[in-house]
Amino acid sequence: MTTPDAKPRAEAPALEVKNALAGFLGEFKAFQAEIKTKLKEQESQLAMLDRKSIAASRPPLERAVDHAAPHKKAFAAYLRSGDDEGFRSLGVEGKALNTQVAAEGGYLVDPQTAAEIVGVLRSSASIRAIANVVSVEATAFDVLVDHTEIGAGWASETSATGETEAPRVDRISIPLHELAAMPKASQRLLDDSAFDVEGWLAQRIADKFSRAEALAFVSGDGQEKPTGFLTYPKVDNDIWAWGSLGYVPTGEDGDFSASDPADAIVDLVYALGARYRANAAFVMNSKTAGAVRKMKDADGRFLWSDSLAAGEPARLMGYPVLVAEDMPDIAQGAFAIAFGDFRAGYTIAERPDLRILRDPFSAKPYVLFYATKRVGGDVSDFAAIKLLRFAAS
């Protein structure tokens, strides 16, 4: 005979099995969902890596084109071995046609080398550093100078207006002359791939050009070279006229005045017109600078002050000093110091191209590099430059 609670006792084990199975299935589904999530994350990471690797291996569709690279490569090959096939291919393909020159005249240097040479020329201690420098494509450069005041007058509404003075304009033509340098190197050195032939060549050319230019801008006679500003007639500033440079005497032959040496410097500064003094500079060589920097004013203060910042020029009476070694030494009657606005007073005209001709035959076993450029210089405003003469009058 069964008891009333026999059936529940029989169902209890089955319920426990059912509950256990349901729990297991729930945990399995949760585990399965977690596995799927992790697989999706891994697939996403793999896809991202694939995209990155493909992007890294794929050549870019657009890239900045270095137009100077073919010419630079051709120029290096020409310097080392005389192989000008690179230049010829540039011409045949129509690339960089403006950089090629006939073989008889050499080839233009690559832009980087040209920029290095120009940078050295600009930083050299010559009149170029303070003069007006222009680039031209012609064989000469014309400067128009109005060195008179335009006539003007007061007028009322009812009074008659008289004629005013017309301005006078001078035309100064600056011809360009050929400046040449001829550095040389052995073929064995050129064959050494570690030798920076372009850097070496740029430095040698710039050194020779800067020395030749600096001398010509000061004392060149204008015959196949620039006209130096010291080659023009020099007159006492009290009787100065256009076409000459005015000077101020020191008061003593071959030296500064023994009693008041600084007075000559002051007189020189104020001999220059006020409109030029704002941009004026002194020009002298090292020996003269050594004598001038010892001068003091009436209160015992030095007229000379050294620069407080690197690259800045020293100053004399507040004006910058360019130490140019091509200026004459202090001597009897010498014009050893110039003062003026050289940006207005002296103009340098040059062509931007610089060409190289390789010559392996004239100086064996060396290879000559004949470098040429065209440059000219001349006084463009005679009122903008004054000189100090070391003489009694």
Q: Go through the domains of the chain in sequence order and give each one's CATH number.
A: 232-348+377-389 (3.30.2320)
The sign of the torsion formed by the CA atoms of 90, 92, 97, 99 equals positive
Using DSSP's 3-state secondary structure scheme, residue 222 falls into coil
Among candidate residues 107, 123, 120, the one with its CA nearest the CA of residue 371: 107
Model pLDDT, residue 102 = 47
pLDDT confidence of residue 312: 80
Instruction: Report pLDDT for 355.
Output: 80
Q: Is 6 helix (H, G, I), strand (E, B) or coil?
A: helix
pLDDT at 283: 96
Q: How far is CA 45 from CA 39, 41, 49, 286, in A?
A: 10, 6, 6, 72
The rounded distance, in Å, linking the Cα atoms of 244 and 299 is 36
Structural tokens at position 241:
């006229």
- For residue 59, give Cα distances in angstroms to 48, 62, 366: 19, 9, 44
Helix orientation angle between 111-123 and 197-219, rounded to the nearest 10 degrees: 40
Dist CA 335 CA 14 (whole Å): 126
The CA distance from 37 to 14, in Å, is 35
Q: Identify the CA nearest to 353 among candidates 181, 174, 100.
A: 100
C-beta separation of 257 from 263 below 8 A: yes
DSSP-derived pairing of the beta strands 234-236 and 245-249: parallel
Instruction: Note the pLDDT of residue 92.
Output: 37
Residue 96 has what pLDDT? Answer: 35
**Bridge partners, residue 234, by sequence:** 245
φ/ψ of 173, rounded to 5, equals: -100, 125
**Tens digit of pLDDT at every position of the chain (393 positions):** 555 555 555 566 667 767 766 776 777 677 777 777 777 777 776 666 665 555 555 555 444 445 456 556 666 666 665 556 555 555 533 333 334 454 455 556 555 666 666 665 666 668 889 999 998 888 888 888 776 655 566 666 666 655 555 566 778 889 999 988 888 888 777 777 677 777 777 788 888 888 899 999 999 999 999 999 999 999 999 999 999 999 999 999 999 988 888 899 999 999 999 999 999 999 999 999 999 999 888 788 888 988 777 678 889 999 999 999 999 999 999 999 999 999 999 999 998 878 888 788 887 888 888 888 899 999 999 999 999 999 998
Quickly count: other Cβ atoms within 10 Å of residue 225's Cβ.
20
Handedness of CA 85, 87, 92, 93 (dihedral sign): positive
